Structure 1
Amino acid sequence: MTIPGILEEKLSSALKAVLGEELPADFRASVTPSADLRFGDYQSNAAMVLAKRCRTNPRALAQQVADRIGQDAVCSLEIAGPGFINFRIRPEFYAARLLAMLADDRLGVEKVQAPKTIVIDFSAPNVAKPMHVGHIRSTIIGDALSRVARFVGHHVITDNHIGDWGTQFGMILWGWKNILDEQALAANPIDELLRVYKDVNLMCKEKPELLDTCKAELVKLQAGDGENLAIWKRCVEVSKSGLSKIYDQLDIHFDYWLGESFYNDALAPLVDGMIAAGMARESDGAICVFSDGSVPPNEDPFLVQDKGEWRANPCIIRKADGGFLYATTDLATLDHRIRTWGADSIWYVVGAPQALHFRQIFSTQRRRGMDGDYRHIAFGSILGDDRKPFKTRSGDTVSLQDVLDEAIERAARVVEEKSPDMPDEEKKRVAEVVGIGAVKFAELSQNRMTDYVFNWDKMLALQGDTAPYLQNSYVRVRSIFRKLDGGPLDWSAPIQLSEDAEIHLARLLARYGEVVPQVLDDCRPNVLAAYLFDLARAFHSFYEACPVLKSEGPVRHSRLALCELTARTLKHGLGLLGIQLPDRM
């Protein structure tokens, strides 16, 4: 049990003893970390909340609770302000917690009591187009959430819902037959397919009649034409191959790659079923889902305010020309994930501009009788130094591969400057670990809903809230153990904590089991990133204040135990964020 859990049990028991039948049956005492350590390690406003409900003096109630708990082996209690109950954890208890963590591969992180099957949909690039900087947030946030959810005990299914079907394929099919460069395709398939698409798109603008020809190619594909299906399959295969190289470089892997095409056969029956059930109807030739009036207008995704009045804002599931849309495919995708995979919860890691789309999809799905835990895990934008969407100097979208290559190249320069004597192969490996880690941590250290500026210098700095700082902290800890003589250390011996820096480092280490589950409370990897940064800072303060190798006896053992647990926690926590660690920097 986490320390807040232990304190909440003590607090609840004391409140029950003090208030008896006056304690509301639905009340749950809450204990949270103190914002200011001068007032203890944890605090609770339970007495203030209950005093208002029970019409009694909050400070007096808090004092009664503290008196009831009395002298305790875990903590001492203080009453502050109008009735806050502050808990100061005893160093001996922290020492015992650390000893338990050293014997626990999970480092004090408990598994969830009711595991769920969670499908996480993230990354989702389009076939025949390179991944760009806009894919960073979905890809990296989605992977981190998948890792954390799996670790705490959920059954996680990751699905890369790639865009492998749609109107762009008409242009690609015509271009493949007429302007494809086979040698360029063999050398770099995604770049060549993108060139084909761009060139044909430009040609269609110059010769509008060509657009009809491209549409005809798409119709042939949708009708099952053998030649066009073969070309389409080849496009998908070479695109997946190119995408997989980036995912391998990022150490990101998916359980499924079920693209839009997988659901084609389900779309017409889905729409027909909704029409028959009265859930969708025709409007100007299109089939739409309209408001059913079940929620207030300001909460209804099928209404929009216009000039002070509410008007219809329907979700189109079949166009007037008979074509289907993303909404139709997404509904079929939800069906598959629920019926085939038994999903209890489905998370979409997709940018904030798609919020209305998902509100409509989730509302429609529930109207179809499939109520469930559907989440749109939204995020903001990546900006350049001018605080506009991050672009190249020519105004083009920045390729994700270019971002990764530049991160590694810049990291290599830092490694060369700091460790010129390191073997070349090791330099190359360290540069990749540091560069990729820097890109990931720059993303994951942000609140996902905020926009952030993509800044190379800050991202790769060895000081501050960066991956290189954390990686360097880990390397620094491990270097302590390389200086030791003798065999393996005995981590079962008691730990002693007396110095303030020792106690503060122990305090943060003991909180790891609290922090990791909090990542999933609102799908916020930045909670874990911030914790790891605080832990690294606490270690550096400890290292400066408390000599490790120069100390002796039980003090030396205790400080080595703090170092060992710091290294394990940094490695494990960064691993949950998908960030690797070098042995040297």
Structure 2
Amino acid sequence: MFIELKKHVAEILASALDIEAEEIEDMLEVPSNVTFGDLALPCFKLSKKLNASANKIARDITNRVAVRVKGDRYIEHIACIGAYVNFKFNWKRVGKKIIKRILDEGARYGSSKEGAGKTIVIDYSAPNIAKPMSVGHLRSTIIGDALKRIYSFLGYTCIGDLHQGDWGTQFGKLICAYKLWGDEDRLKKDAIRHLLELYVRFHKEAENRPELEDEARAWFKRLEEGDKDAIKLWKLFSNLSLKEFDRIYRLLGVSFELKLGESFYNTHAKRIVKRLLDLGIAKYSENAVIIDLERYSLPPLVIQKSDETTLYSTRDLATIEYREREFKPSKILYVVGLEQKLYFQQVFKVAELMGFNAKKYVHVDFGLITLPEGKLSTRKGRVIFLEDVINKGIELALKIIREKGIVKENEKEVAKKVAIGAIKYADLSQNRIKNITFSWSKMLNFEGNSGPYLQYTYARARSILRKGSMPTNFNTDLLQDKREIEIIKTLSLFPLIVKKAAKEYEPHHIANYVYKLAEAFNEFYQSVPVLRAESSVRDARLALVKATAIVIRNGLNLLGIEAIEQM
């Protein structure tokens, strides 16, 4: 409804200013100080266009529009404050439409069809085969999953691509290490941890035995050439790893539409090298093949090593070609850490030189997760296993809900949902570009601005609804308490917040919104009687509670957090 109100205001202003309504709509914003109004037009951008000061323009617009909005069904008041034209809405009147829409649309409230007929490919998580999923994989996995949920909600066809790292020189190292120190029994019992030990040992041994690096490169070359022994071990490592990954993804409630992996593009990558050489885009340099990007103020991109093996840059270019051919996407999102920023600038530029529209490729970057003593490193063995984090969270959640006595049935299942919600929300509630220092206490915080707090708020709303049967008729004009109006205002913003999260690739907008709604609802819950109110007021408040529960659930779903019916 807030989107409709915004359009309504834009049309009124456009007719007064002789400016397109769409242009005005883009300029409108929600004031940071809610006492000023519900929507504001900052006039700074109009200053140059109208050749007057922003303050004077705001005064003139207010005087012109005041007459037009007199008696308007939804606009209650217009006022000029400095360089802003501020509008206040009649929330008692608007509230009826908002609550009815939410109750009618249910799980669809906040969605749209803006993406109908458009496809978005989202490349996220991308763990490396034969390495454990660590806390370092968490951000890409849950940010990517949240973006897929958000864009799907807006009508886009989304292709979530795992694009696992199942090819590259690390397999030469692993095969070499396994041949030297591998234990078949340990591999069967705990494949991932044994392979990690081998990988760490390889790097330690190579510090004093540099010839190991040569042996590893030789093994990878044999792998690229289709050597049976190398292929057999590679398949074994890959299958064992994917089995482990799938188990963790199921636990997290994360899914993918595509799991081809880098290896799928190896043959295509070799053709890419030849094509770029034939086009004169690439050239030989000291027996390697590079693309000189100096004219674009970028360093050269190596696409083939001197031993004729490919790199992940080559395979990424082959992947772009495949995605363009198979899916014809309107966008391709790469949910990858900030440290890869330069690399993606190089790859996108080369893709552009190949004839692709690189403007639709977006590097959705994010900050690092670090340990208190520094960056996570698989080579040095300084890793916190993601599964350990989840299990620790479940253990802590179970302890807390038992202490509080808030769950009577299926407490282990509830603990799992609470723990995963806590872990996801600890990440998704923050601006993705910020670095996060791994902390048990922050990630598994069960109070205040946290996933469990939102889940508990939803459960509280559902409890009220179970105790009071939902009326078929209700009069929202009776919702006059300031806390009720605040909830109605907040409910109206949800579709706008979803669009903003998609536009900026920032799930934290939704996380922050749901927290704000939960805060407003809990203040209402503590201060305003629902079940004990007079019957007609009770019915109106039950409708408000149900609408609130629906929107909290919808918001949590977009974050990949399960709403819990009873706590």
Shorter-chain TM range is over 0.9
The residue aligned with 2:101 is 100
Change in CA separation of 1:222 and 1:458 when aligned onto 2, cut-off 3 Å: closer
1:287 aligns with 2:310: no
1:499 aligns with 2:481: yes
Change in CA separation of 1:217 and 1:61 when aligned onto 2, cut-off 3 Å: closer
For residue 71 of structure 2, give the secondary structure of its aligned residue in structure 1: coil
Does structure 2 retain, via aligned residues, the 8 Å contact 1:288–1:316? Answer: yes
Which is worse superposed, 106-115 or 493-502? 106-115
Structure 1: 5+ residue stretches without partners = 294-299, 303-312
Give the Å deviation of 1:437: 0.7
The residue aligned with 2:366 is 379
Of 469, 473, 485, the residue aligned with 2:453 is 469
Q: 1:445-460 maps to which residues of 2 (within 5 A)?
A: 445-460=429-444
For residue 104 of structure 1, give the secondary structure of its aligned residue in structure 2: helix
Of 501, 505, 509, the residue aligned with 1:527 is 509
1:366 aligns with 2:333: no
Q: 1:156-235 maps to which residues of 2 (within 5 A)?
A: 156-235=158-237
Q: 1:349-364 maps to which residues of 2 (within 5 A)?
A: 349-364=335-350
1:580 aligns with 2:566: no
Structure 1: distance between partners of 2:195 and 2:371: 28
Change in CA separation of 1:420 and 1:446 when aligned onto 2, cut-off 3 Å: closer
Give the Å deviation of 1:45: 2.0
Change in CA separation of 1:217 and 1:326 when aligned onto 2, cut-off 3 Å: closer
Change in CA separation of 1:62 and 1:231 when aligned onto 2, cut-off 3 Å: same
- Provide Cα deviations, 1:141-170, integer angstroms capped at 9, x if missing partner: 000000111111001001111111122222
Does structure 2 retain, via aligned residues, the 8 Å contact 1:109–1:512? Answer: no
Which is worse superposed, 159-168 or 73-82? 73-82
Give the Å deviation of 1:238: 0.7
- Provide Cα deviations, 1:506-551, integer angstroms capped at 9, x if missing partner: 1111111111111111100000000000000000111122100100
The residue aligned with 1:443 is 427
Does structure 2 retain, via aligned residues, the 8 Å contact 1:491–1:561? Answer: no
Which is worse superposed, 149-158 or 96-105? 96-105
Change in CA separation of 1:390 and 1:67 when aligned onto 2, cut-off 3 Å: farther
Does structure 2 retain, via aligned residues, the 8 Å contact 1:446–1:452? Answer: no
Structure 2: distance between partners of 1:270 and 1:458: 46
Give the Å deviation of 1:237: 0.6
Does structure 1 retain, via aligned residues, the 8 Å contact 2:121–2:329? Answer: yes
Does structure 2 retain, via aligned residues, the 8 Å contact 1:111–1:152? Answer: yes
Of 318, 328, 337, the residue aligned with 2:314 is 328
Does structure 2 retain, via aligned residues, the 8 Å contact 1:495–1:554? Answer: no
Counterpart AA for 1:44: L
Which is worse superposed, 448-457 or 143-152? 448-457
Structure 1: distance between partners of 2:159 and 2:407: 44
Instruction: Kindly indicate which of the two structures has a greater share of residues assigned to helix.
Output: 2
Does structure 2 retain, via aligned residues, the 8 Å contact 1:184–1:192? Answer: yes
Counterpart AA for 2:513: Y
The residue aligned with 1:305 is none
Does structure 1 retain, via aligned residues, the 8 Å contact 2:168–2:312? Answer: no
Of 34, 39, 51, the residue aligned with 2:36 is 39
Change in CA separation of 1:446 and 1:190 when aligned onto 2, cut-off 3 Å: same
The residue aligned with 1:546 is 528
Give the Å deviation of 1:208: 4.2
Structure 1: distance between partners of 2:475 and 2:335: 45
Give the Å deviation of 1:491: 4.5
Change in CA separation of 1:578 and 1:447 when aligned onto 2, cut-off 3 Å: same
TM-score under structure 1 normalisation?
0.90
Structure 2: distance between partners of 1:357 and 1:422: 52
1:346 aligns with 2:342: no
Change in CA separation of 1:284 and 1:212 when aligned onto 2, cut-off 3 Å: closer
Does structure 2 retain, via aligned residues, the 8 Å contact 1:146–1:158? Answer: yes
For residue 88 of structure 1, give the secondary structure of its aligned residue in structure 2: strand
Does structure 2 retain, via aligned residues, the 8 Å contact 1:99–1:492? Answer: no
Change in CA separation of 1:15 and 1:201 when aligned onto 2, cut-off 3 Å: closer
Give the Å deviation of 1:8: 3.3
TM-score under structure 2 normalisation?
0.92
For residue 102 of structure 2, give the secondary structure of its aligned residue in structure 1: helix
Structure 1: distance between partners of 2:187 and 2:559: 35
Structure 2: distance between partners of 1:434 and 1:128: 30
Counterpart AA for 1:146: K
Of 392, 397, 414, the residue aligned with 1:411 is 397
Change in CA separation of 1:331 and 1:546 when aligned onto 2, cut-off 3 Å: same
The residue aligned with 1:144 is 146
Counterpart AA for 2:49: R
- Provide Cα deviations, 1:394-453, integer angstroms capped at 9, x if missing partner: 971211111111111111211121118735xx2211111111111100000010011133
Counterpart AA for 2:293: S
Counterpart AA for 1:84: Y
Structure 2: distance between partners of 1:566 and 1:536: 8
Does structure 1 retain, via aligned residues, the 8 Å contact 2:377–2:383? Answer: yes
Give the Å deviation of 1:28: 3.0
Change in CA separation of 1:174 and 1:381 when aligned onto 2, cut-off 3 Å: closer
Change in CA separation of 1:289 and 1:546 when aligned onto 2, cut-off 3 Å: same
For residue 170 of structure 1, give the secondary structure of its aligned residue in structure 2: helix
Counterpart AA for 2:288: A
Structure 2: distance between partners of 1:508 and 1:27: 25
Does structure 1 retain, via aligned residues, the 8 Å contact 2:41–2:86? Answer: yes
Structure 2: distance between partners of 1:163 and 1:235: 12
Structure 2: 5+ residue stretches without partners = none
Does structure 1 retain, via aligned residues, the 8 Å contact 2:13–2:24? Answer: no
Does structure 2 retain, via aligned residues, the 8 Å contact 1:172–1:197? Answer: yes
Structure 2: distance between partners of 1:87 and 1:365: 47
The residue aligned with 1:513 is 495
The residue aligned with 2:89 is 89
- Provide Cα deviations, 1:16-75, integer angstroms capped at 9, x if missing partner: 2x345xx479843432222112112111125x5435422353112222122222221111
For residue 122 of structure 2, give the secondary structure of its aligned residue in structure 1: strand
For residue 332 of structure 2, give the secondary structure of its aligned residue in structure 1: strand
Does structure 2 retain, via aligned residues, the 8 Å contact 1:461–1:469? Answer: no
Give the Å deviation of 1:223: 1.7
Does structure 2 retain, via aligned residues, the 8 Å contact 1:14–1:69? Answer: no
1:401 aligns with 2:382: no
Does structure 2 retain, via aligned residues, the 8 Å contact 1:391–1:398? Answer: no
Structure 2: distance between partners of 1:328 and 1:301: 20
Change in CA separation of 1:27 and 1:430 when aligned onto 2, cut-off 3 Å: closer
Which is worse superposed, 93-102 or 459-468? 459-468
Give the Å deviation of 1:236: 0.7
